[in-house]
Amino acid sequence: MLRYILKRLVFAIPTLFAVSIIAFIIIQLPPGDYLTTLMADWASQGGAVEAGTVAAMRERYGLDQPIYYQYYKWIWGILTAGDFGISFELGKPVTELIWNRLGFSLLLSLLTLCFVWAIAIPIGILSAVRQYSISDYTATFLAFFFLAVPDFLMALSAMYVMSAWFGQSVGGLFSPDYVDAGWSFGKLVDFARHVWLPVVVIGLGSLAALVRIMRANLLDELSKPYVTTARAKGMSELELLIRYPVRLALNPLISTLGWILPAVISGEIIVSVVMSLPTTGPLLLRALLAQDMYLAGSLILLISVLTIIGTLISDILLALTDPRIRFQ
Amino acid sequence: MGYQQKLRGLVVSTGLLTTVLWGATLPAWATDYKQAPMLDEQVKAGKLPAVAERLPEHPYVETMIDGVGKYGGTLRTTILANGDQYNLTRTIANELLVRWDPKWQKVMPSLAEEFKASDDATTYTFKLRKGLKWSDGQPFNADDIMFWYEDVFMNSALSPAKNPTFTVAGKPVKVTKIDDLTVEFKFESPYGLFIQQLAYGQGHLPVIYPKHYLKQFHDKYNKDGIPALLKANPAAGDWVALFNSKVSLTFQPPFWQNLALPTLNPWVLTVPYADSERVVATRNPYYWKVDTAGNQLPYIDGITWAKLDDPQLMALKMTSGEFDFAFRHINNSTFKSVLFDGQQTGNYKFVDVKDLPANDAVILLNLNSTDPVKRKIFQNKDFRIALSQSINRQEIIDLVYVGQGAPAQVAVQPEHELFNEREAKQYTAFDPKASAAILDKIMPKKDAEGYRLDESGKRFTINFMVADVFGLSYPDVMQMVQKYAKEVGIDIQLRTTDRARLNTMWAANEQDAYIWNCVGGLSEVYTDPRCYMPFQKADIFFAMKWSEWYSNHATGEEPPENIKALMAAYDKVNAAVTDDDRRQKMKDFLNQSADNFLNIGISRPMPKYMMTSKNLKNVVNGIPITGNLWHPAPTLTQWYFDKPTK
């Protein structure tokens, strides 16, 4: 087991290295750099763009250096000092900006995960066990429906309904009274009143997918001989179901658990933008649009690292829950 | 619009020859100034001096729009979560030495109590109000302006290039302190438009640098202390970066993140434009303006901006009554019907904003194209006329702009005194026959598909760059133009692109042609004729080699005689000293520009709108603004709620 983990860890290092290079190149691919964005901004404000100022800023930011040197400087800072560089646009260290938003991202992802699993697994089991019943058809219909609706549309409609019909203040995670206040019981209640909407909107899409996966896996298992054997031996139906086929059917869910980690940062960018959530998604989008390259690069690197760690975790979890994988 | 011209004596025309004599027109300053109730407590507790001590000796007396208002309330508005710092600038940071009146016709004294221009339009003297204070209570005087001039503007590390507002013919201004309250700006050659330039947003530079606060970050004043400050500030590598992180000449985010920076603005930030979910500002107790009854402005206690990532959410929150005011991002045709329907639930009304450029959609052919064949054809005025006449403008306006517009060339708006019918209307009539007849003379040969051939025998193709910007549906417009051009045998190939790509193409002079909008519809045309002549500025590049030559004869390419004459005509505008003379010279210039017919306009813009709460008063309906004439900052201090909103 330890060997297995070590082996995976060793493989992760070159992957990370390659990913960091690719991330950096991708950010540089579009024409122009952060200063082009800045110049466009100035122009639209009626400001004149002095070539001298721009050239001086380019030098100051090191944007006039060749790309491999910029990369070297950036990666060296990360490796030696944990310094991810600064955000040009916000004039702050990247780490400071990311940590501020990571908390809410993590919280939102976890809440969504709990919501999705708590709903999807029972529904999936129900519609597998009662295949081709009314409840199965209803669940299937709803699952396909929510799978098909784009999440930003869902976000917009949900907000419109909540705002126009129920008069609730939508968008963000707090109402104006609590935004700047410190944490208190009132703020927690306020948070709970706001957070359920994004959780439901973000969750519905993956919930639908999970219901389908759960149903298909379970159906595969239910027809296997060991189920019949257990039933023949007089095991109660519920105990049988939960103990054997469901456990096996959960495997694919566990293997996707690792994807939750990268989704913490990149996940649901569009929903976060539409609903103005204080998560890392909108930060990444803006960084890419403004070509704020150290911020964008660091976020992409972080996503890659989390993907690799996430995959590792699901491998380990799978090995723990399914002995067959361990011994391969 | 009933502007009360109670203080006619304050209103000074732009091309002033002599100083306004204050003694003669001195308004009766109230002796008992009043302040907002929210400050009473602090004054009583001794935390703040009394209102009369906080105000300058002669406060700026605001010209009221509806009348004297009442104190209180919070203005709730919105801002994009990232990259929207100009929203703050335009809303609360527009305090200048001189300012435009709300009608955008005259420049009036502001922080300067009076100003004087020399007869040769080279020297300008400003006398500051006595007793002006920064928002921390420290005095503002000539030393702060000298700090900007000597230690920021003339410091090559902080200002590697000199701001064009303060340069003429490549030479920067020379600023001298006459006494504690008087400074003199001297240029080497005539610069009659300086006062106008100074009254626009970018003219703020001399008055945003509080010396008493900023000198600790300056190498010259605090060489020994800076290493320690750098250590505490990991994002800054040297003193220049440190200084720029405390104040920003372009109002970049650092300006709005530094709560310690003293300002002269009516409101000061208490929650910065950073990580929080909103931005909050509260009144500056040292603000230096009063209403006609002696009440210290502003009336509104504070402002909150909800930070949102998406304009759709802005519109939704507007209709549900969560904002008292919104202007940017949702004032376009996409949201108009939704916002119109939401007036009842949102308790707001529409207010006209005359943000009127010279044209919404302009075809800019590259007269300096690097391809000699194309260059020759683009430079042919008859070709441009033919292309212009091939376009069915009304159809474009009806189909793409849902009727919002009028066929027109790049020209000043009809409501402005510089308007000229011919300049606006020439060659706008849809006449494909006349167009084809002209083209038959220039490029008579056609290929099998009916497209014209250039002199080398190849099909003449314009590679047209189209970016979908400003919400003006340029891709749709250009598809129609492409169709019209095909009718007369001109091949236009559309290349969809984005602004960043265009920027690099402009800089390298690579594009054949592109479509953009053109400023210069109202008074800004005096200082910003970028669409009327080759003029080095920002986003208009139809003859960049000539404009380079114009700004510095050692660079670019020498233009032909007619263009040189056009440039000379503009130089005369800049040398004019009186209003009348300047207006006349400007008319001559615009006339010549129309004769040259440099680019092809399609649609004249229509007024835009903003939304304000029904409870807000003293809001100008139909205020004229532009990119560098900010809004609503110049009139926001007099807005008030006539009943509480919440």
Taking an 8 Å cut-off on Cβ atoms, the answer to whether A46 and B240 are in contact is: no
pLDDT score of B256: 86
**Segment among A30-44, B56-70, B273-287, B583-597 with least mean pLDDT:** A30-44
Q: Which amino acid is at B466?
A: V
B201-232 pLDDT, tens per residue? 888 899 999 999 999 999 999 999 999 999 88
Average pLDDT over residues A116-120: 89
Taking an 8 Å cut-off on Cβ atoms, the answer to whether A273 and B309 are in contact is: yes
Q: What six digits make up the tokens of B107?
A: 């420049």
pLDDT at B17 over 60: no
CA-based radius of gyration for chain B: 26
Mutate to test the interface with A, among B88, B163, B277, B646 (most CBs of A within 10 A): B277
Contacts of A291 in chain B (CB under 8 A): 500
B26 touches chain A (CB under 8 A): no
B201 touches chain A (CB under 8 A): yes
More confident call, B23 vs A106? A106
Instruction: Give percent of chain B with pLDDT exceeding 70.
Output: 94
Contacts of A286 in chain B (CB under 8 A): 81-83
B175-188 pLDDT, tens per residue? 999 999 999 999 99
Q: Which residue has the tokens 């290493």?
A: B227
Average pLDDT over residues A301-328: 77
CA distance to A26, A308, B461, per residue, from A17 (Å): 14, 12, 46
A52 touches chain B (CB under 8 A): yes
Taking an 8 Å cut-off on Cβ atoms, the answer to whether A32 and B257 are in contact is: no
pLDDT score of B298: 95
Average pLDDT over residues B336-349: 91
Q: Which residue of A has its CA nearest to B165?
A: A48
Mutate to test the interface with A, among B310, B510, B646 (most CBs of A within 10 A): B310
The confidence band for B382, taking pLDDT boundaries of 50, 70 and 90, is very high
pLDDT score of A25: 86
Query: What sign for the dihedral angle of Cα B369, B373, B376, B381?
Result: negative
B306 touches chain A (CB under 8 A): yes
> Which residues between 133 and 172 in chain B have a beta carbon less than 8 angstroms from any beta carbon of chain A?
159-165
- B134 to chain A nearest CA, in Å? 25
Task: Select from B86, B309, B503 the Cβ nearest to the Cβ of A39.
Answer: B503
Task: Select from B161, B201, B539 the Cβ nearest to the Cβ of A51.
Answer: B161
Q: What six digits make up the tokens of A201?
A: 């909107």
> Which residues between 578 and 607 in chain B have a beta carbon less than 8 angstroms from any beta carbon of chain A?
none
Q: What six digits make up the tokens of A10?
A: 């060793």
- A217 to chain B nearest CA, in Å? 40
Taking an 8 Å cut-off on Cβ atoms, the answer to whether A93 and B309 are in contact is: no
Q: Are B466 and B495 in contact (CB under 8 A)?
A: yes
Contacts of B160 in chain A (CB under 8 A): 52-53, 55-56
Interface size between A and B, measured as CB pairs under 8 A: 165
Contacts of B254 in chain A (CB under 8 A): 91
pLDDT score of B625: 87
Taking the C-alpha atoms of residue B452 and residue A146, their distance in angstroms, rounded to an integer, is 54
More confident call, B645 vs B451? B451
For residue B268, the 8-state DSSP code is E
Taking an 8 Å cut-off on Cβ atoms, the answer to whether B83 and A55 are in contact is: no
Q: What six digits make up the tokens of A49?
A: 């763009």
- B166 to chain A nearest CA, in Å? 12
Q: Are B283 and B57 in contact (CB under 8 A)?
A: no
Give DSSP secondary structure letters for B390-419. H--HHHHHHHTSTT--EE--S---TTSTT-
Q: Which of left, alpha, beta for A183 (phi over 0: left; psi -120 to 50: alpha)?
A: beta
pLDDT score of B4: 41
The confidence band for A49, taking pLDDT boundaries of 50, 70 and 90, is low
A49 touches chain B (CB under 8 A): yes
pLDDT score of B578: 87
Contacts of A48 in chain B (CB under 8 A): 163-165, 202, 537-538
A231-258 pLDDT, tens per residue? 899 888 888 888 888 888 888 777 777 7
pTM equals 0.85
pLDDT score of B5: 38
Task: Select from B280, B316, B345 the Cβ nearest to the Cβ of A180.
Answer: B280
Q: Which of left, alpha, beta for A81 (phi over 0: left; psi -120 to 50: alpha)?
A: alpha
B563-607 pLDDT, tens per residue? 999 999 999 999 888 889 999 999 999 999 999 999 999 999 988
B492-543 pLDDT, tens per residue? 999 998 877 887 788 889 999 999 999 899 999 999 899 999 987 678 999 9
Mutate to test the interface with B, among A54, A83, A92, A201 (most CBs of B within 10 A): A92
pLDDT score of B447: 93
B254 touches chain A (CB under 8 A): yes
Taking an 8 Å cut-off on Cβ atoms, the answer to whether A48 and B163 are in contact is: yes
Mutate to test the interface with B, among A88, A90, A162 (most CBs of B within 10 A): A90
Q: Which residue of A has its CA nearest to B86?
A: A45
Taking an 8 Å cut-off on Cβ atoms, the answer to whether A91 and B280 are in contact is: no
Domains and CATH numbers, chain A: 35-83 (no CATH), 101-326 (1.10.3720.10)
Contacts of A93 in chain B (CB under 8 A): 234-235
pLDDT score of B595: 96
> Which residues between 83 and 112 in chain A have a beta carbon less than 8 angstroms from any beta carbon of chain B?
83, 86, 89-93, 97, 100-101
A168-203 pLDDT, tens per residue? 888 888 887 787 777 888 888 888 888 999 999 888
Q: Which of B63, B108, B51, B64 is nearest to B296 (CA)?
A: B51
pLDDT score of A12: 81
B317 touches chain A (CB under 8 A): yes
More confident call, A305 vs B619? B619
B53-109 pLDDT, tens per residue? 999 999 999 989 999 999 999 999 999 887 788 889 889 988 999 999 988 988 999
> Which residues between 476 and 505 in chain B have a beta carbon less than 8 angstroms from any beta carbon of chain A?
499-501, 503-504
Taking the C-alpha atoms of residue B527 and residue B104, their distance in angstroms, rounded to an integer, is 13
B28 touches chain A (CB under 8 A): no
pLDDT at B18 over 60: no
B189 touches chain A (CB under 8 A): no
pLDDT at B356 over 50: yes
Mutate to test the interface with B, among A98, A156, A163, A201 (most CBs of B within 10 A): A163
Mutate to test the interface with B, among A36, A37, A45 (most CBs of B within 10 A): A45
B307 touches chain A (CB under 8 A): yes
Mutate to test the interface with A, among B255, B313, B625 (most CBs of A within 10 A): B313
Q: Residue B581, Cβ neighbours under 10 Å: how many? A: 15
Average pLDDT over residues B415-434: 94
Give DSSP secondary structure letters for A74-130. HHHHHHHH----EETTTTEEHHHHHHHHHHHHHHHHHHHHHHHHHHHHHHHHHHHHT
Average pLDDT over residues B233-247: 85
The ipTM value here is 0.83
pLDDT score of A326: 64
pLDDT at B443 over 90: yes
Q: Which amino acid is at B507?
A: A
**B249 CB-contact burial (10 Å; exposed 0-12 / middle 13-18 / buried 19+):** buried
pLDDT score of A235: 87
Q: Which residue of B has its CA nearest to A287?
A: B82
Taking the C-alpha atoms of residue B354 and residue B336, their distance in angstroms, rounded to an integer, is 16
The confidence band for A38, taking pLDDT boundaries of 50, 70 and 90, is confident
Taking the C-alpha atoms of residue B218 and residue B211, their distance in angstroms, rounded to an integer, is 10
> Which residues between 261 and 320 in chain A have a beta carbon less than 8 angstroms from any beta carbon of chain B?
272-276, 278, 282-283, 286, 289-291
pLDDT score of B600: 97
Taking an 8 Å cut-off on Cβ atoms, the answer to whether B309 and A163 are in contact is: no
Q: Are B543 and B564 in contact (CB under 8 A)?
A: no
pLDDT at B477 over 70: yes
Mean pLDDT of chain B: 89
B344 touches chain A (CB under 8 A): no
pLDDT score of A320: 77
> Per residue, what are the HEC states of A215-260?
HHHHHHHHCCHHHHHHHHCCCCHHHHHHHCHHHHHCHHHHHHHCCH
